[in-house]
Chains A and B, each alone.
Chain A
Amino acid sequence: MRNKLSTSQLGWVLALTGLTLYILEQTQLLDLPPLLRWLPALWNDSQPDLRENHDLYALLFVVGALLAACSRERYEDEYIGQLRLEALLGALYMYCGLLVLAILLVSGMGFLRVMMYAMFAPLLLFLGLFQLSLRRAQRTTPAHD
């Protein structure tokens, strides 16, 4: 069936849902009860054993972004594979550059926030760079030739 959700689309839905819920909660527009209350942590030495919802949003984002970035394209071939690998390498370089900048410019408790975003940066950069190179390849291909 044509309108079936592809793996990539499912990934986008999950990642955007996680991101939207996180932003809504951070801006205090949304206040959900702890949805992962049932899931015990193996290692928790700082608070009572109660997971906050940002764990769920992070999981949604990571799984979704991974599905969106790594699922097969409609016409998956070796060129697309190369674009994907180049995006992965580019993301690693950019991530290292950003990390070096953060180490130089941020210190103290502010660095904790940097570390939090650094957990998701490689995946986000990879996804962004791959989508950019796909769009560029599509744009430079003439409609009829």
Chain B
Amino acid sequence: MTNTLRVERAIHRFTQEELARRIGVSRQTINAMEASKYVPSTALALKLAQVFGKPVEALFQMKHDVLLTF
């Protein structure tokens, strides 16, 4: 799973701290998601989509090789 969280955060000029505060998680969680070390739950993905004003699939994408296995 890849994501564009870091890019979106830069566009909206949010720090990790501010984004974490807006969706109610720790800064470590934001960092882990941006580094693709952690895939958030649906609820958290929807909160992120709401904050950035974009659909979830614009923020999170399956990797190409994973898609081919379906």
Residues of A within 8 A of B (CB): 73, 75, 77-80, 82, 137-138, 140-142, 144-145
Segment of B38-46, B48-56, B60-68 engaged in the interface with chain A = B38-46
Residues of B within 8 A of A (CB): 15-16, 20, 24-29, 31-33, 35, 38, 40-41, 44
Task: Point out the residues of chain A lying under 8 angstroms from B35, CB to CB.
Answer: 140
Task: Point out the residues of chain A lying under 8 angstroms from B24, CB to CB.
Answer: 77
Task: Point out the residues of chain A lying under 8 angstroms from B15, CB to CB.
Answer: 144-145
Expressed in whole angstroms, the Cα–Cα distance for A73 and B38 within the complex equals 18
Expressed in whole angstroms, the Cα–Cα distance for A102 and B45 within the complex equals 45
A139 to chain B, nearest CB (A): 10
Is there an interface contact between A142 and B25, defined as CB atoms closer than 8 Å? Answer: no
Give the residue name and chain of the A residue nearest to B16 (CB). A145
Task: Point out the residues of chain B lying under 8 angstroms from A82, CB to CB.
Answer: 38
Among A75, A79, A82, A142, chain B packs the most CB atoms within 10 A around the CB of A79
Expressed in whole angstroms, the Cα–Cα distance for A60 and B33 within the complex equals 38
Task: Point out the residues of chain A lying under 8 angstroms from B44, CB to CB.
Answer: 78
Task: Point out the residues of chain A lying under 8 angstroms from B40, CB to CB.
Answer: 78-79
Expressed in whole angstroms, the Cα–Cα distance for A85 and B15 within the complex equals 28
Contact of B29 among A78, A142, A145 (CB under 8 A): A78
Task: Point out the residues of chain A lying under 8 angstroms from B41, CB to CB.
Answer: 78
Is there an interface contact between A137 and B32, defined as CB atoms closer than 8 Å? Answer: yes
Among B25, B28, B32, B35, chain A packs the most CB atoms within 10 A around the CB of B28
Expressed in whole angstroms, the Cα–Cα distance for A144 and B32 within the complex equals 15
Task: Point out the residues of chain A lying under 8 angstroms from B31, CB to CB.
Answer: 137, 140-142, 145
Is there an interface contact between B28 and A141, defined as CB atoms closer than 8 Å? Answer: yes
Task: Point out the residues of chain B lying under 8 angstroms from A137, CB to CB.
Answer: 28, 31-32
Give the residue name and chain of the A residue nearest to B41 (CB). A78
Give the residue name and chain of the B residue nearest to A144 (CB). B15
